[in-house]
Amino acid sequence: MKFHVAARALLLGLVAVPVHSESATMSGKPLTGTWVMCQDPDHSPPDSLTFHPEGYGFEHRPDKPKYPFLFKETGEKLLLLVNARGDLIQIHMMVNPARTRLFLKSDKTGSESFYVRQGQEKENSCSTWQPHF
C-alpha cells in the first residue's frame, strides 16, 4: 500500500515535469541504459541499475529478483523510489557533470560508492566489476 500511494504521487510529479532534466537533454547523455557498480568501499554485493526513458528502471543483483524503481533527475540530483518487497525506499544519488558516474553515499557508514555505464568498467578501473557473459 505504501508503495502504491508514493508511486502515484511520484508519477503525478513525473507527468507534470519532464523525466530528463534540461542538462541531460542539452548534453545528449540521458541516464538510459545500464550502470554497474564500480567502486564500493563497504563491499556490498555488486549490482547494476537499468534506466528506461519513461522514468522507471530495475536494480539487478546476481541470483536475486529484480527490484523495480521509479526515478527522477533534476540537474545533478537523482531520486530513485525502489519497491523492495512492497516497501518504498528512497535513494538519493548524484550525477557528475560529465554524466559518467552516479554516486551513492551510505547513510550508515558515510562511504561513497559509484556506478559507471556498462562497458566503461575497465576505463574506470572498477574494483567490483565482473565481466558479463
What CATH number is attached to the domain comprising 111? 2.40.128.280
Confidence tier at 6 by pLDDT (50, 70, 90): very low
Q: How far apart are CA 75 and CA 94, in angstroms?
A: 9
Indicate the range of 20-24, 52-56, 93-97 predicted with least confidence: 20-24
Whether residue 131 is contained in a domain is answered as no
45 in any annotated domain: yes
Q: Give a yes or no: residue 67 inside a domain.
A: yes
Tell me what percent of the residues of the chain surpass a pLDDT of 90: 59
Q: Is residue 50 part of a domain?
A: yes
Q: What is the mean pLDDT of residues 86-111?
A: 94
In tens, the pLDDT along 46-94 reads 899 999 999 999 999 988 889 999 999 998 999 999 988 889 999 999 9
Domain that holds residue 68: 2-117
Contact in structure between 124 and 35 (CB atoms under 8 Å): no
Domain tally for the chain? 1
pLDDT for the residue numbered 49:
97
Mean pLDDT of 7-31: 46
In a domain, 122, yes or no: no
- Residue 16, in any domain of the structure: yes
For the segment 30-53, the average pLDDT, to the nearest whole number, is: 94
Domain membership flag for residue 123: no
Cell of 60: 539487478
Q: Is residue 126 part of a domain?
A: no
